[in-house]
Amino acid sequence: MTVIELDDVVKRYRTGAEEITALDGVDFRADRGELVTIIGPSGSGKSTLLNMIGLLDTPTAGGVRLDGREVTDFSEAELTAERRSGIGFVFQKFHLLPMLTATENVELPSMWDTGVDRRDRAVDLLERVGLGDRLDHRPSELSGGQSQRVAIARSLINEPEILLADEPTGNLDQDTGATILDELTRLKEAEEIAIVAVTHDEQLVDYADRVVRLVDGVIQ
Amino acid sequence: MSIADLLWRVPSVQMAWRNLGRNRVRTALATLGIVIGVVAIASLGIAGVALQQQATADLGDLSNEVTVTPGEDAAEEGITDEQVATIRTIASGSTVVPEKTNVTAIESRNGREVQVRVTGVTRASALYGLASGDAPDRLRSGALLSNTTATNLGLERGDPIEYDSRLYRIEGLITSTEGFGSATGGRLVVPVSAMNDQQYYDSVTIFTDGREATALTDDLEARFNEGGDEQVDVRNFADVQQRVGSFFRTLNLALLGIGSISLVVASVAILNVMLMSTIERRGEIGVLRAVGIRRGEVLRMILTEALFLGILGGILGAAVSLGVGLVLFHLLTDDPLLVFQWRSAQYVVYGFGFAVLASGLSGLYPAWKAATNRPVDALRG
Ligand SMILES: Nc1ncnc2c1ncn2[C@@H]1O[C@H](COP(=O)(O)OP(=O)(O)OP(=O)(O)O)[C@@H](O)[C@H]1O
Ligand SMILES: [Mg+2]
């Protein structure tokens, strides 16, 4: 089942007098239970594409559909609500909050939800990514691989339909990267979610169900 | 469940508290700025009140008092009986106390001698507060002596005292500081008959009865000093008091102004600290926004941080100011607890309120900036 769909999406950036076309008519879709990787040279528009999929940015032209709903013209507040309930993010640099424990970091996206206590789910998720013994550790007390697993747990706290990862293994060594990819593969099957990962890492391609190649903002 | 527990469940409060805990030195310095601002406002305000209370206590309650003394163009060497009679009719209903004064030396049994002002009055009770004994409405054969002089000379109530070769019995002791005129020097009060060799009175004091002292002054001036002829000099202290009052109001405003400047400086410091810390945390705030934390939620979080600085500094500053106030009131009025009366305590409340307001205002811009930063831009670096 298709979770996210991009229709002939164009993204242009204007810097001074110059106009850069980062995405030039991109069609894209991802289904539940599949891991799609986006590869391409630096500056080809991979991150830009991921931002469109993640509703972090809006296209200059073209349409975006989430769960079959047109979200192209959503307001900032509506997009934020969609991100909160339906999309999980994993970043290259983990981006955990240093003053929160592992459990609190996992709870973070649901922290402002009134009347919901996600503590149990956070602990459960951390146990599932193998960090049951690190619940109260701060990010500074965790290794890179452990941090990225906390980030993955955080991305799943609100039971998203889609998980987006920009170079999730970029800051990790080969072996640690492999464990993260195993983790993602397991999750995609168990949780029935779509995973879209941007990478330079050839290793990630081996785990992918589908590979999208991007060159100069155009899918090959 | 306590209020603290409830507050802790508010995510903005919890996040703000932890963010402040991340850079304790910076938090402490920003708080210190606010503490100084609050202490400046509150203790300067309190100092103004304490000074004013000390001054008014020294002046005594003179607002209903009018004094008449011989004027420049007076026909006689003093106030005549006839003039006293006129004053009595004009100031009917008020207490009119004519007095004659002189200076004499009194000697104690052990041979010590003290210079005192001698006053001859009819109604001593209207003029003098007594430490002990009583001042009969009309002195006949008794006398009053100031407390300090009595102690100096070893005299007590009931002892005889000599003036102009006549003996008087001390009937009461006058408290040493009472009002304006009797603030310095010893004083002996004798029946006005003792000074019969002085024909005229040196002054007449009128204690108005409900009537405005200024109105009575005008009436007396009109009656005696017709056409600029200064027969008598009429004075009241109403305008002195008014001027003292307005002086202290101006002083207080100036002091508060100075205090406010330091709080403005402190809030600029908070603005700076909050701006720095939100710029440093740009990426982090971008992550918050990316994972679905709303703009308003981020705004509240940052604003709460700024308010925490203000509240923390405000509480500490209020405590320090009350301490300073206790010392000031102790030094100036001998009653440190006067600091808790609303007149002075209000400045602690103002200081605290101003601190919270100022920190909230300085938090607004950084909070708004952090909240409206687009997550894509923040995450790019
Ligand atoms: N906010 C922006 N303003 C101006 N130009 C931008 C902006 N974001 C991206 N670009 C431009 O768009 C193009 C695509 O950038 P993007 O970050 O998507 O590349 P990428 O494929 O992710 O590269 P890398 O592999 O290095 O991360 C680049 O030419 C970049 O300079
Ligand atoms: Mg990129």
Q: State whether residue B283 sits within 8 Å of chain A by CB.
A: yes
DSSP state of B338: G
SS3 label, residue A197: strand
User: Chain A partners of B375 at a C-beta cutoff of 8 Å?
Assistant: 56
DSSP 8-state assignment for residue B108: -
- The pLDDT of residue B182 is above 60: no
The span from the CA of B185 to the CA of B282, in Å, is 75
* B155-169 mean pLDDT: 84
pLDDT of residue B349: 94
Whole-number pLDDT of residue A164: 94
> In chain A, pLDDT over 90 holds for what percent of residues?
67
C-alpha B47 chain-centroid distance: 8
ipTM value for the complex: 0.92
As a dihedral over the C-alpha atoms of residue B157, residue B160, residue B166, residue B171, rounded to 10 degrees, the angle is 20
Do the beta carbons of residue A154 and residue A106 sit within 8 Å?
yes
CA dist B16 and B310 (Å) reads 13
* Protein residue whose Cα sits closest to atom 20 of ligand 1: A43
Distance A166 CA to ligand 2 centre (A): 7
Domain range summary for chain B, segments of one domain joined by +: 3-59+242-380, 66-236
Q: What is the pLDDT of residue B181?
A: 46
Tokens (6 digits) for B289 = 């926004």
Q: What DSSP assignment string belongs to A15-47?
A: ETTEEEEEEEEEEEEEETT-EEEEE--TTSSHH
- Give the nearest ligand 1 atom to A40 CA: 21
Residue with tokens 């997009």: A79
Query: Hey, what's the torsion of the CAs at B27, B30, B35, B37, to 10 degrees?
Result: -170
Q: Provide the angle, in degrees to the nearest 10, between the axes of the packed helices A76-86 and B295-333.
A: 100
Say if residue B381's pLDDT is above 70: no
Whether A15 lines ligand 1, by a CB cut-off of 6 Å, is yes
Could you tell me the end-to-end alpha-carbon distance of chain B, in angstroms, rounded to an integer? 42
* Predicted confidence (pLDDT) per residue in B92-109, tens digit: 888 888 888 888 888 777
Q: What is the mean pLDDT of each run of 10 residues along chain A (220 residues)?
A: 92 91 94 93 92 94 92 93 93 90 93 84 91 93 92 92 90 85 87 90 84 92
Average pLDDT of the residues of chain B: 84
Ligand 2 ion: nearby residues, β-carbon < 5 Å = A 47
Residue B134: pLDDT band (50, 70, 90) is: low
Q: Are A11 and A45 in contact (CB under 8 A)?
A: yes
Query: Who among B22, B297, B375 is closest to A98 (CB)?
Result: B22
Q: Which residues are within 8 A (CB) of B337 and not within 5 positions of it... i.e. 6 or more apart?
A: B326, B329
Q: What is the per-residue pLDDT for A194?
A: 94
Report the gap between the CA of B248 and the closest CA in chain A (Å): 51
pLDDT band at B183 (very low <50, low <70, confident <90, very high): very low
Q: Say yes or no: B84 contacts chain A, CB-CB below 8 A.
A: no
User: Cβ distance B348 to B42 under 8 Å?
Assistant: yes
- B376 CA from centroid of ligand 2 (Å): 11
Amino acid A24: pLDDT: 93
Burial profile B60-73: b = 16 or more Cβ within 10 angstroms, e = fewer: bebbbbbbbbbbee
Residues B235 and B67: beta-carbon distance below 8 Å: yes
Inter-CA distances, B222 with A75, B39, B147, B194, B218, Å: 83, 52, 40, 33, 6
Residue B187 pLDDT level (bands cut at 50, 70, 90): confident
State the pLDDT confidence band at B7, using cuts at 50, 70 and 90: confident
Q: Confirm or reject: Cβ of A215 under 6 Å from ligand 1.
A: no
Read off the pLDDT of each residue in B172-182 and give the average, rounded to a whole number.
59
Q: Give mean pLDDT, residues B214-223.
A: 85
Percent of the residues in chain B that have a pLDDT greater than 90, as a whole number: 25
pLDDT at B268 over 50: yes
What is the pTM assigned to this prediction? 0.75
User: Could you tell me the sign of the dihedral formed by the alpha carbons of A56, A61, A67, A70, in that order?
Assistant: positive
Instruction: Delineate the domains of chain A, giving CATH numbers in brackets.
Output: 32-58+74-219 (3.40.50.300)
Name the DSSP class of A118: -
> pLDDT-derived band of residue B205, with 50, 70 and 90 as boundaries?
confident
Contact B19 A99 (CB under 8 A): yes
Q: Is any atom of ligand 1 closer than 6 Å to the C-beta of A47?
A: yes
How far is it between the farthest Cα atoms of chain A? 54
B310-326 mean pLDDT = 94
| A26 CB near ligand 1 (under 6 Å) | no
Chain A CB contacts of B293 under 8 Å are 80, 84, 108-109, 111-112
- Helix (H) / strand (E) containing A8: strand A2-15
Chain B residues whose CB is inside 8 A of the A94 CB are none
